[in-house]
Amino acid sequence: MVLAAGFLCAIATGAVGEPGKSEKFPDYVGSETCVSCHRAAGDAWRTSHHAQAWNEPTGRWVRGDFDNRTFEHKGVLSRFTRDGGNYFVTTDGADGKSRKFKVAGTVGVEPLQQYLAETEPGRLQALDLVWDTQQKRWYHLYPDQDLPHTNGLHWTGPYKNWNARCAECHATGYEKRYSQLKRRYATRQAEKSVGCEACHGPGSAHVTRARDSKSFDRAAWSGVNAAGLTIGFGRKSPETEIQQCAGCHSRREAFDTSSPVPGTPFHDSYRLALLRDGLYHAGGQIRDEVYVYGSFLQSKMYVRGVRCTNCHDPHSGALKAKGNAVCTQCHNPVGNAAFPTLRRSEYDSPAHHFHKPGSDAAQCKSCHMIERVYMGIDGRRDHSFRVPRPDLSEASGTPNACTDCHKDKPPSWAAAKVTTIFPDTLNRPPNHTILFSHAREGRSDPDIARSLLETALSSGQSGIVRATALDLLGRYATQGTADGATGLLRDPDPVLRAAAIPLQRTAPPAVRVKRLGPLLRDQRRSVRIAAVRALLDILAEEGSPMLSRFGRQAIEEYQHSLTSKADFPAIQMAIAGTAMVFKKFSAAEQAFSEAVRLDPQRVDAWMMIARLRAAQGDTAGATKALRDAVAANPDDARLSNFLKDFRRSDGAN
């Protein structure tokens, strides 16, 4: 069976090869080779969560109690056992029947440990039953959810697939290697867990140089620096380090099936998630698991050149100091020469925090890095380092650090307290929180569109906030907003350039081509792909002048970005949508069908299958699709109504 993604090959000529790759691109040598010379760094790394991100299920790594323990959730009884050196979990499988799965890997170590099972050759799935390493107990990641085997969110489904969803950031030199034809994985990696080369790049050239620096010929290697590595972390390049960390510590969509070589710019490998509803609160505070990068980009610290390793040891991952000392290395009366614009003041004092010294409330992180709990017990801190704004909470529903602790008090109480303690807060600059909250609600006030555009054009806001304003402006898009945002298509920030592109869909076709055509050869792949998506309807026209050399290359990149994730239900929806634009209706139906095979709860896909079959005169096929959809989603009113309307319409005909 040839899957629908194959139709994309027909819209471009040729295939994208690996650009400029010589025969002597460095190979991975393994962390043990690295630490044989870099012993201090290696000793620190061995204690890190990176080193324990993914390991073999041996007695050295398994933390859970497999001594014939049981756990029941929503009527499913699971059992944890061991036999010699092997560990097993007996639980419901993909068919709903109880089955004994051999543990194929451990994930993480603190405060919880997950376990992997190989449900079919090469396919690893992350179990929802995990071990609390602090309380020494088994628990379910989603205690309030009933997720039977027919649900796409069941632990055997696509959203819990380790190969596609998680492994890249838990491995070194990762290659997913998914076959669309066979629907099988042949995954491989240079090393399980996050080793030295996950950050420093493949090390064979570096090892060659270390063994004989005099005879080392850098020109004989592809893509390496003077040290024989693909990346360098110099003092004057914080952005290099931040983007390298961001590859995993961010909410993003990958463009490839393999880990990018360290040193590859973030925006050549990923599309960053903006401050969208469901991921972030309207003010930008963390809501869902968004990790760190999107938050840090909002901070003044990022603007001033603070990097990850100013606070975290790069090898152990631990903070460089305890408690408030990690903050007062800069925020103190003397200051820090590396950040000369920082206001010098005594911060670790009741005169600033107004709480009992040494208490939890007196910790910098309590006010400036609110904590949210994910995976049941894993507390994570917001890295936007924001000043508490309880005055905005009442109008927007956003959280604030004050009422996070004083849960019995309303935001108005906290706002009055803050104003009393810090009178200067009355002169704070405008904030986007209320604006974003109203835009998310879809309010029709014409001032909202104007204010969103002003926010996007404001150099005083962070790039991700400005890009989010553009994203929200799409709900109010007119030719006028397209004209107003045109200058941002040339902004130095690729996040802004990419976010400005969709607004141009409201411009006349000729104007859209003129504005977006040059972006098909933008320096960053995230921008090039965004340009293709906004020009698809024009590119689909036979004999389109856009099918130039750069147009074909950009289309091929877009094709690759989709086919590399053909095991994602959402991407099958995107493939189907692209096929519809190109009037490849059979391919579209195949992609919609693959989407519901992966996730039966994709109701929109079911309805599109029915519509496509009906349009081709296949009434019986359309009816069957709707019946299957209702069977998979018996409580979905949209489907039931759609089926009733379809039957009435069919009867009338």
DSSP 163-184: HHHTGGGGEEEEE--EETTTTE
For residue 19, what pLDDT is reported?
Answer: 42
Asked if residue 337 is part of any domain, the answer here is: no
Nearest to 141 by CA among 170, 108, 112, 167: 112
Angle at which helices 433-440 and 446-457 cross, to 10° = 130
Is residue 152 included in any domain, yes or no?
A: yes
What's the pTM?
Answer: 0.93
* 400 lies in some domain: no
Residue 459: the pLDDT is 92
Q: Do residues 280 and 296 make contact, with C-beta atoms less than 8 angstroms apart?
A: no
Per-residue model confidence (pLDDT) at position 385? 96
Cis peptide before 111 (omega within 30 of 0): yes
* Helical (H) or strand (E) element with 140: strand 137-140
Q: Does 399 map to a domain?
A: no
How many other C-beta atoms lie within 10 A of the C-beta of residue 509?
Answer: 12
Domain extent, residue 181, equals 54-192
The continuous run of DSSP H or E covering 254 comes out as: strand 252-254
Are 55 and 193 in contact by the 8 Å Cβ rule? The answer is yes
3-state secondary structure 278-342: CCECCCCCECCCCECHHHHCCCHHHHCCCCHHHCECCCCCCECCCCCHHHHCCCCCCCCCCCCCC
Q: Which residues contact 457 (CB under 8 A, 6 or more apart)?
A: 466, 484, 485, 487, 488
HEC per residue, 33-60: HHHCCCHHHHHHHHCCCHHHCCECCCCC
What was the pLDDT predicted at 20? 47
Rounded Cα distance between 138 and 141, Å, is 10
The per-residue pLDDT for 264 is: 97
C-beta separation of 432 from 461 below 8 A: yes
> Is there a domain that residue 112 lies in?
yes
Token output for 69: 């323990």
Q: Is residue 110 part of a domain?
A: yes
pLDDT block averages, 10 residues each, the chain of length 653: 55 41 82 97 97 96 97 97 96 97 97 98 98 98 95 97 97 96 96 98 96 92 95 91 97 95 97 98 97 97 96 97 96 94 94 93 96 96 95 92 95 92 75 95 93 96 97 95 97 98 96 94 97 91 68 89 96 96 95 97 96 94 93 91 79 49
- For residue 482, being part of any structural domain is answered with no
Count of structural domains within the chain: 1
The helix (H) or strand (E) run that includes residue 514 is helix 509-516
89 DSSP β-pair partners: 80, 101
Assigned domain for 510 exists: no
Contact 370, 399 (CB under 8 A): yes
